Amino acid sequence: MTSVMLSDPVVEELVSIVGRDRVFTDPAARFNRARVPAPFPVHRWAEHVPDAVVLPVSAQEVSEVVKLANRHRIPVVPRAGGTGLTDGAVPLQHGIVVDVKLMNKVFELDLEDRTVTVGPGINMMKLNEELRKHDVIYPDDPASYPCSLVGGRIGTSGWSLIGGRYGHTRDLVISFEMVLPTGDIVRVGDGGGKKVRKSSSGYQLKHLFMGHQGTLGIVTEATLELVPRPEAEFAAFFSYEDYESAWRSTGALARSGLATLAGVVLFDEWKIRYLRRDDEAYIPQPDSVKAVVAVAMYGVADEVRPAAKRIMRIGKESGGSYLGDEISQGDWASRHDRYATPLHGRLPDRQVAPMSWHCEDASINWSQLPKVREKWHALVSDLIERHPIFDDWGMFAYTNGAYKPWGDYLTEIDVGIWEQELDDESWEAWVNCKRDIAAVSLEHGGSISACHGSCRAGEVDLVPEELGGGFEVMKKIKKALDPNNIMNPGKYLLDSAYEDGGETL
Amino acid sequence: MTQHETKSDGKSAADNGLQTEFVERWRDAAYNCYSSGHKFCREVCPVMQVTRDEAHTPTSFHANIVAMEKGHLSVEDVARDYVHCTQCGACELRCPNTLFTGDFYRFRTRTVEVVRAMRALAVDSGVEQEGWKRWVELTDSYRSEPVMGDVEVSQDHVADWAQGLDIPIGGDTLLFCDCEGAFFRTSTPRAAAKILKAAGVEFGLMREQWCCGGPAAEMGYVEKARSFAEHNIADWRSVGANRIIVFDPHDYISFTEDYPRYFGDDFDFEIVLMVELVAELVRDGKLKLTQPINRTVTYHDACRLNKRKGIHEAPREILRAIPGLTFKDVDHVTQWSYCSGAGAGLGIERPDLTAEISRRRIERAAELEVDALVSACVWSERPLSEQGGKRAEPIEVLDLLELVGQSAGLDDEEVGS
């Protein structure tokens, strides 16, 4: 790691760009922007603390900060919500955190061409509070819907719980303005004006600048898709006596071809056991309930109501028992909050311990789910045996494709980690386990990450293997666009792009 | 700035064991938040919605304690951040730990208590905020808060609002009048008193009413707050009171949460919230609302009633009982993210934030195309009125009790004047 000094003159330059009240160098401001909800080596917190934090309000200010960083060779780390389940917003090499939360304005609502143009600091729930007055919504619906911000959704190329119906972040962001690592301001989309959804002019830069975890610049404005506010919602939860039946049912539901299908979620028996610990919906379920499949649909009533009948038929024909309206509607309505809170954590002796949540988020093809599941649980069991501060919270598999939700699944094993007890040895064991989990995903033809990004310690070592020659292309792009390696250095092994004669920090 | 100056020794210069004791007390609660990292609290927080500063979030308020335990931060480093809280309680409700495991574990995230405890640690460690320090000193001197109003703040004038109403001193039931009502919005306690009389509720006033002490407690001056409480309780006992009626939600918090904490089982007074009593009186036909009020209004859920105490039905029941009134309601859960910004001393240290939080609340009301916003919290009414009056199309801020008084034909003054 290269060392960086932020001298007082640099701070004064930052002040001259954004104003004194939006530059923070005090310890509390910096320590609170060192971490995200992803598992974090809390015993090594000080290693990840930025040197300064700025809260810009315009692309011009962001650009000036980035140019300053280039002049002084200081790392810049963009931060939107700081709610990521990978560590993209963690300043691995210190430097300046560019926190975009004040850039949360709605610039334009276009009800004719169905777009809304916003700053990257706006939250989707807050945006929808405004949009619903006009009978439209922006349907990007991650688990972090009440708190994550549009900028982070672009930086991670997020996944939406209802993406099977409405698409995921990449499908919902039409175009956006970026400050490149050199400070230049560009607009990227499919091509054409900022409200054009499909173009074949030139390279498709929109995808390049999504999911880069802040290594290729900072989003400063985005034009988003609007869809009609759904007039009908339907959710059904089915229980099964074994995982295999539930898995087959998941496949059948996802392949149903119903256009209003927003998503199908498979809970395995480890997840059910975990929910039985304290969840009033699952405690009373009979022992025969070993797996659950949830399905949700959105759209106009004329389409959703008849489609719901077909869903009920598929669920029952595949061996499912309907869990009732209360669980179906209630659990789905509370899906953002319900399944991962610290108090669910248990030590091997069943004592409650407040645990943070690791959410593995591989993309796995449907056919491979049963095998991946067995291997992942075995890896986590082995970890728990050696380090009882970890806990297996079971698995979910969610339909992962936009509009055609059948081929692959966001596959999640949730691991509880009692961070209070972390030390170097247990952290190392965790990183190794994480790498082994990622290796299983690749063995089965999957991807390490469907939505969070695969730059967490451990898994990141396998990114060159996953991407093959594509990783070499990534490095060339990184070096070409960021000659001084100032944008979020240390992420995605991209420092290696500068090792052969390239200028490094 | 020096190179990676991430390490302070985490020790408070003024630490004489207080910080260690504090961390010991709050560490596990802090980890319950730190380990979650959901941050669902953030977008409902009235302060965070304005400052967008992560250091002003419940997440940081808890994470700081973990950082203190690890030796990274001290109370001096964080005290100022904890000014940025109105103690409205929205974050506690929105926390998944409260929502989805609270019942099972009998657990609730207690951010308000964390903030109060950190403020108390700061005061006890000599890290004081100038505005609060002066406010509490003046409250100590006047026995009432130094609210700026038409009435001079002093014990000589603390019951001026009751002139001509012929209210006795003492008795089984007392009406407690908070400082803002006593010296600024005197029309509110007058309305309260007239309503009680009209409904046949016998009540008196204290011999010598002091501030409830709540604001001092909220700002971290716990011992000072307790001394006010001791005086007030002694006064209540001296006149044989058993039942205290309060109309101010902040007093209600003091009497139902702080006082029992100070005095334990010795605190055996019945505390009656005026808005609940009025709803009951109307329901039972003891208070007749006969005069139509031909206005279009919405209701501002007082944070300390709605979010802290779960009281949101009674005010709505009253509004629906007023003839002629067009009531455009916004549900109480949506209002978790609303606030006037007036609570917990924010307006003293950051009047700019209070003004902006109030402005946004008024704009929410304006979107409903109402001509008035009704509040049941006298402390919210001043900043909300200021912002409502600044609009090209003003939004008037009415007090619920004043409105009731008018509808009951008890009005000798124009509502809202």
Task: State pLDDT tens for residues B108-166.
Answer: 899 999 999 999 999 999 999 999 999 999 999 999 999 988 889 999 999 999 999 99
Q: Is A37 within 8 Å of B39 when comparing Cβ atoms?
A: yes
Q: Is B6 within 8 Å of A33 when comparing Cβ atoms?
A: no
Q: Would you state the structure tokens that stand for residue A176, as one six-digit string?
A: 């956006």
Query: What is the band of B417 on the pLDDT scale with cuts at 50, 70, 90?
Result: very low
Q: Is residue B342 part of a domain?
A: yes
Show which of residues 177-236 on chain A sit within 8 Å of chain B, judged by CB atoms: none
Residue labelled with tokens 């609730």: B108
Q: Is residue B11 part of a domain?
A: no
Q: Is residue B247 part of a domain?
A: yes
Q: Is A81 within 8 Å of B39 when comparing Cβ atoms?
A: yes
Q: Measure B326 CA to nearest chain A CA, in Å.
A: 21
Q: Would you state the structure tokens that stand for residue A298, as one six-digit string?
A: 């959105």
Show which of residues 222-281 on chain B sit within 8 Å of chain A, judged by CB atoms: none
Task: Answer yes or no: do B201 and B101 share one domain.
Answer: no
Q: Compute the average pLDDT of residues A2-28.
A: 87
For B355-383, write each residue's pLDDT tens digit. Answer: 999 999 999 999 999 999 999 999 999 99
User: Which of the listed residues B255, B277, B299 is the one where a domain comes to its end?
Assistant: B277
Q: Compute the average pLDDT of residues B248-268.
A: 97
Q: Compute the average pLDDT of residues B309-327.
A: 98
B413 pLDDT higher than 90 = no
User: Which of the listed residues B228, B254, B277 is the one where a domain comes to its end?
Assistant: B277
User: Which of the listed residues B127, B161, B194 is the one where a domain comes to its end?
Assistant: B127
> What pLDDT is attached to residue B104?
86
Q: Measure A182 CA to nearest chain B CA, in Å.
A: 24
DSSP secondary structure code for residue B254 in this structure: I
Q: How far apart are CA B177 and CA B159, in angstroms?
A: 8
Q: Measure A102 CA to nearest chain B CA, in Å.
A: 6
Task: Answer yes or no: do B262 and B290 share one domain.
Answer: no
Q: Using CB atoms, pick whichever of B4, B54, B103 lies closest to residue A82.
A: B54
Q: Is A28 within 8 Å of B78 when comparing Cβ atoms?
A: yes
Q: How far apart are CA B345 and CA A236, in angstroms?
A: 48
Q: Is residue B414 part of a domain?
A: no
Task: Answer yes or no: do B206 and B297 share one domain.
Answer: no
Residue labelled with tokens 């034009």: A223
> What pLDDT is attached to residue B5?
52
Task: Answer yes or no: do B263 and B342 share one domain.
Answer: no
Show which of residues 32-61 on chain B sit within 8 Å of chain A, judged by CB atoms: 32, 34-40, 42-43, 52-55, 59-60
Task: Answer yes or no: do B272 and B303 share one domain.
Answer: no
**How many helices and strands in chain B, by DSSP H and E?**
21, 7
Q: Is B34 within 8 Å of A30 when comparing Cβ atoms?
A: no
Q: Compute the average pLDDT of residues A141-149.
A: 95
Buried b / exposed e over B215-241, threshold 16 CB at 10 Å, is bbbbbbbbebbbebbebbbebbeebeb
Chain B residue at shortest CA distance from A417:
B35
Beta strands in A21-161 (DSSP E): 23-24, 52-54, 76-79, 96-99, 106-110, 115-118, 136-137
Question: Nearest Cα to A95, choosing from A428, A483, A484?
Answer: A484
Task: Answer yes or no: do B117 and B230 share one domain.
Answer: no
Q: Measure B21 CA to nearest chain A CA, in Å.
A: 18
Q: Measure B79 CA to nearest chain A CA, in Å.
A: 10
> What pLDDT is attached to residue B371?
94
> What pLDDT is attached to residue A505?
44
Q: Is A146 within 8 Å of B67 when comparing Cβ atoms?
A: no
pLDDT cut 90: percent of chain A above it: 93
For A202-258, write each residue's pLDDT tens digit. Answer: 999 999 999 999 999 999 999 999 999 999 999 999 999 999 999 999 999 999 999
Residue labelled with tokens 């549009």: A150
Query: What is the band of A418 on the pLDDT scale with cuts at 50, 70, 90?
Result: very high
Q: Is B34 within 8 Å of A28 when comparing Cβ atoms?
A: no
Q: Is B7 within 8 Å of A420 when comparing Cβ atoms?
A: no
Q: Is A42 within 8 Å of B70 when comparing Cβ atoms?
A: yes
Measured from the Cβ of residue B293, the count of other Cβ atoms closer than 10 Å reads 19
> What pLDDT is attached to residue A388?
97
> What pLDDT is attached to residue A343?
87
Chain B residue at shortest CA distance from A96:
B4
H helix intervals, A447-500? 463-467, 469-481
Residue labelled with tokens 């706006």: A122
Q: Is residue B5 part of a domain?
A: no
For residues A182 and A483, is the Cβ–Cβ distance under 8 A? Answer: yes
Helix (H) or strand (E) holding B406: helix B400-407
| φ, ψ (nearest 5 deg) of residue A108 | -155, 130
| φ/ψ bin of A168: left (φ > 0), alpha (ψ from -120 to 50), beta (otherwise) | beta
For B211-223, write each residue's pLDDT tens digit. Answer: 999 999 999 999 9
Q: Measure B126 CA to nearest chain A CA, in Å.
A: 19
pLDDT cut 90: percent of chain B above it: 89
As for how many domains chain B has, the answer is 3
Query: What is the band of B73 on the pLDDT scale with cuts at 50, 70, 90?
Result: very high
Q: Is B35 within 8 Å of A35 when comparing Cβ atoms?
A: no
Q: Using CB atoms, pick whichever of B3, B36, B73 lies closest to residue A342.
A: B36
Chain A residue at shortest CA distance from B8:
A27
Q: Measure A103 CA to nearest chain B CA, in Å.
A: 9
DSSP secondary structure code for residue B385 in this structure: H
Q: Compute the average pLDDT of residues B17-32.
A: 95
Instruction: Give me the sign of the Cα torsion angle B346, B351, B356, B358.
Output: positive
Cα→Cα distances A2→A454, A489, B29, Å: 23, 10, 37
Q: How far apart are CA A188 and CA A217, in angstroms?
A: 12
Q: How far apart are CA A220 and CA A13, in angstroms?
A: 21
| φ, ψ (nearest 5 deg) of residue B219 | -90, -5
Q: Compute the average pLDDT of residues B73-85.
A: 98
Predicted interface score ipTM higher than 0.85: yes
Beta strands in A65-209 (DSSP E): 76-79, 96-99, 106-110, 115-118, 136-137, 173-179, 185-189
Q: Is residue B412 part of a domain?
A: no
Helix (H) or strand (E) holding B270: strand B270-273
**B contacts of A133 (beta carbons < 8 Å):** 367
Task: Answer yes or no: do B232 and B312 share one domain.
Answer: no
> What pLDDT is attached to residue B134?
97
Chain B residue at shortest CA distance from A337:
B96
Q: Using CB atoms, pick whichever of A42, A144, A344 lies closest to residue B101.
A: A344
B264 pLDDT higher than 70 = yes
Least confident of A341-345, A438-442, A466-470, B247-251: A341-345
Chain A CB within 8 Å of residue B417 CB: no
**B contacts of A45 (beta carbons < 8 Å):** 67, 70, 72
Domain that holds residue B162: 152-277
Q: Compute the average pLDDT of residues A168-193.
A: 97
For A193-202, write each residue's pLDDT tens digit. Answer: 999 999 999 9
Q: Measure B346 CA to nearest chain A CA, in Å.
A: 18
Measured from the Cβ of residue B307, the count of other Cβ atoms closer than 10 Å reads 28
* Percentages (nearest 5) of helix, strand, coil residues in chain A: 40, 20, 40
For A344-384, write each residue's pLDDT tens digit. Answer: 999 999 999 999 999 999 999 999 999 999 999 999 999 99
A2 pLDDT higher than 80 = no
Task: Answer yes or no: do B292 and B270 share one domain.
Answer: no
Q: Using CB atoms, pick whichever of B52, B67, B78 lies closest to residue A104.
A: B52
What CATH number did the domain enclosing B358 receive?
A: 3.40.50.11810
| φ, ψ (nearest 5 deg) of residue A352 | -75, 135
Chain A CB within 8 Å of residue B2 CB: yes
**B contacts of A280 (beta carbons < 8 Å):** 103-104
Q: Measure A425 CA to nearest chain B CA, in Å.
A: 18
> What pLDDT is attached to residue A8?
87
Question: Nearest Cα to B368, choosing from B294, B293, B299?
Answer: B299
Task: Answer yes or no: do B115 and B167 share one domain.
Answer: no
Q: How far apart are CA A141 and CA A281, in angstroms?
A: 23
> What pLDDT is attached to residue B1?
40
**A contacts of B52 (beta carbons < 8 Å):** 55, 101-102, 104, 121
Q: Is residue B413 part of a domain?
A: no
What CATH number did the domain enclosing B272 receive?
A: 3.40.50
Show which of residues 78-137 on chain B sit within 8 Å of chain A, judged by CB atoms: 78, 81, 94, 96-97, 99-101, 103-105, 107
Q: Is A31 within 8 Å of B1 when comparing Cβ atoms?
A: no
> What pLDDT is attached to residue A335?
87
Task: Answer yes or no: do B98 and B43 share one domain.
Answer: yes
Q: Is B54 within 8 Å of A46 when comparing Cβ atoms?
A: no
Q: Measure B311 CA to nearest chain A CA, in Å.
A: 23
Q: Measure A343 CA to nearest chain B CA, in Å.
A: 7
For residues B172 and B242, is the Cβ–Cβ distance under 8 A? Answer: yes
**B contacts of A44 (beta carbons < 8 Å):** none
Q: Is A356 within 8 Å of B37 when comparing Cβ atoms?
A: yes
Task: Answer yes or no: do B94 and B197 share one domain.
Answer: no
Q: Compute the average pLDDT of residues B192-201.
A: 97
Show which of residues 39-58 on chain A sit within 8 Å of chain B, judged by CB atoms: 42-43, 45-47, 49, 51-52, 55
Task: Answer yes or no: do B379 and B300 share one domain.
Answer: yes
Between residues A339 and B190, the one the model is more confident about? B190
Q: Is A28 within 8 Å of B36 when comparing Cβ atoms?
A: no
For A444-501, write each residue's pLDDT tens digit. Answer: 999 999 999 999 999 999 999 999 999 999 999 999 999 999 999 999 999 999 996 5
- For chain A, domains (ranges, CATH) are 8-99 (3.30.43.10), 106-228 (3.30.465.10), 232-460 (3.40.462.40), 462-498 (no CATH)
Query: What is the band of B100 on the pLDDT scale with cuts at 50, 70, 90?
Result: confident
Mean pLDDT of chain A: 95
Show which of residues 265-294 on chain A sit within 8 Å of chain B, judged by CB atoms: 278-280
Q: Is residue B70 part of a domain?
A: yes
For residues A419 and B34, is the Cβ–Cβ distance under 8 A? Answer: yes
